[in-house]
């Protein structure tokens, strides 16, 4: 199969999650991604050993999945000789991506000004915490930035603590935004021959993630910022309901026809005759009573019984699945949202997150999981960067490469 990004070379100087997952998208679709790591320990994510106090398993799925399809070169960028190697790599690359702090990159001689001098066609991308401009500089992680956006504070029942959208939720979004920006810049470069610099920050991405609610807030709808109870949603037909086991999400418009049908599916035609719920307006007006009445009914059945009846009556609904259900979900496997990949570390096939975007002619691929630290250093030094072996020995002696 052809690859969408055939011939594009990416320098991936990133750690943890947002930067690596951004470069992962480029690698999945055929770019040659070279991960540059410090010789001592490499990307800190290589050290992750537990998640939510569960052992991560016998292979490091945190690191290996988001660094799949990549090569690894180990360079000590604190040394001038290491920086010289990087410059040679920059000459031969299309994209430079980093989620290190801009100040740190500057101190290593890796500013945009410097690198674009070496390669004017370079697409130079950073992933900052709070944006390229302004004066906020502070360590930034997914959740500490998510905290500022307002998206956490509006979730949960009133009075409950704010809700985190899930481990890595903001990093994942920031990673997509970063890859999108890089592709835009590549598209523009192919037309004009010009590189540029770009930034996709955790803050910017997560504010966009809040779009429907934040935009409404900006228009003066102050209640968008607040927690709302599921016991008070305007349309009781579009809501979460408990069963004896899993919750179910019912997604129906508030019309007389759909309401009658829902009542029938719950074996409670009598409800549709109740004067309090007789038309669209009264169902909105008496929403709390109706939610209680529906909950009373759903609470007596299992989710399987409810779903069977919903299916029979054409009611749109879904059980609230958990992760154990999802990893068996046939729909996810058939669409390559999950895939199998060979893991060198444990010498067997393992299950990995696949490709959330399906391209008919240039589908993404998972060929290898994340590289060993510096596994491609020598071969890249010789073949791509065209160093003589003696020079390589010299650079090793100086500690620029391991």
The residues carrying an active-site annotation are 171
Nearest CB to another protein, comparing residues 142 and 376: 142
Which string of x and - marks every residue 372-391 that binds another protein (by CB under 8 A)? --------------------
Q: How far is the CB of 315 from another protein (least distance, A)?
A: 12
Which of these segments, 73-81, 177-185, 379-387, 389-397, binds another protein (CB under 8 A)? 177-185
The nearer residue to another protein, 113 or 390, going by C-beta atoms, is 113
Closer residue to another protein (CB): 92 or 246: 246
**Which member of 219, 257, 347, 390 binds another protein (CB under 8 A)?**
219
Q: Name the 3-class secondary structure at 77.
A: coil
Number of Cβ atoms within 10 Å of the Cβ of 137? 12
91 binds another protein (CB under 8 A): no
Binding to another protein (CB under 8 A): which residues in 122-141?
130-136, 138-141
Of positions 118, 304, 357, 379, contacts another protein by CB under 8 A: 357
Q: Is there binding between residue 240 and another protein (CB under 8 A)?
A: yes
Binders in 251-310 for another protein, by CB under 8 A: 251
Q: Which is nearer to another protein, 291 or 400 (CB)?
A: 291
CA distance 95 to 203: 23
For residue 153, the minimal CB distance to another protein (Å) is 5
Residues 304-343 that bind another protein (CB under 8 A): 316-327, 329-332, 334-335, 337-338
Query: What is the residue-wise DSSP string for 231-293?
Result: GG-S-TTEEEE--SSS-EEEE----HHHHHHHHHHTT-HHHHH-GGGSSHHHHHHTHHHHHHH
DSSP state of 43: S
Residue among 56, 74, 25 nearest 345 (CA): 56
**Cα 166 to Cα 16, 52, 160, 378, distances in angstroms:** 16, 12, 17, 39
Report the relative pairing of strands 238-241 and 248-251 from DSSP bridges.
antiparallel
How does 345-377 read in b/e, with b if 16+ C-beta sit within 10 Å? eeeeebebbbbeeeeeeebbbbebbbbebbebb
Site residues for another protein, 3-42, by CB under 8 A, read 4-7, 17, 21, 25, 29
Number of chain residues interacting with another protein (CB under 8 A): 141
């Amino acid at each position: 199969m052809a690859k969408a990004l055939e011939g594009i070379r990416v320098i991936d100087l990133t750690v943890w999650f947002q930067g690596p997952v951004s470069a992962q998208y480029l690698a999945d679709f055929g770019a040659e991604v070279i991960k540059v790591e410090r010789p001592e320990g490499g990307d800190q994510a290589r050290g992750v050993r537990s998640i939510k106090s569960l052992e991560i398993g016998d292979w490091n799925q945190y690191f290996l999945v988001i660094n799949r399809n990549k090569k690894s070169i180990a360079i000590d960028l604190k040394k001038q000789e290491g920086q010289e190697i990087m410059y040679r790599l920059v000459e031969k690359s299309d994209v430079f991506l980093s989620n290190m702090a801009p100040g740190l990159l500057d101190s290593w001689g890796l500013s945009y000004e410097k690198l674009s001098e070496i390669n004017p066609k370079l697409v130079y991308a950073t992933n900052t915490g709070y944006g390229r401009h302004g004066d906020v500089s502070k360590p930034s992680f997914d959740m500490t930035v998510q905290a500022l956006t307002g998206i956490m504070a509006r979730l949960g029942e009133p009075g409950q603590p704010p809700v985190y959208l899930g481990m890595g939720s903001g990093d994942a979004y920031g990673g997509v935004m970063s890859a999108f920006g890089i592709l835009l810049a590549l598209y523009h470069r192919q037309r004009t021959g010009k590189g540029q610099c770009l930034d996709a920050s955790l803050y910017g991405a997560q504010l966009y993630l809040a779009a429907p609610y934040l935009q409404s807030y900006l228009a003066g709808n102050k209640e968008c910022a607040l927690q709302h109870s599921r016991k008070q949603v305007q349309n009781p037909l579009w809501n979460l309901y408990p069963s004896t086991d899993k919750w179910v999400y019912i997604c129906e418009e508030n019309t007389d026809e759909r309401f009658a049908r829902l009542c029938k599916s719950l074996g409670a035609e009598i409800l549709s005759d109740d004067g309090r719920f007789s038309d669209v307006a009264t169902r909105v007006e008496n929403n709390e009573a109706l939610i209680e009445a529906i909950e009373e009914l759903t609470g007596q059945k299992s989710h399987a019984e409810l779903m069977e009846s919903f299916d029979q009556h054409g009611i749109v609904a879904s059980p609230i699945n958990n992760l154990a259900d999802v990893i068996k979900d046939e729909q996810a496997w058939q669409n390559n949202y999950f895939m199998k990949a060979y893991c060198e570390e444990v010498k067997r096939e393992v299950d990995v997150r696949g490709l959330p975007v399906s391209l008919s002619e240039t589908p993404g691929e998972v060929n290898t999981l994340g590289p060993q630290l510096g596994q491609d250093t020598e071969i890249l030094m010789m073949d791509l960067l065209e160093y003589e072996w003696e020079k390589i020995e010299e650079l090793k002696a100086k500690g620029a490469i391991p």
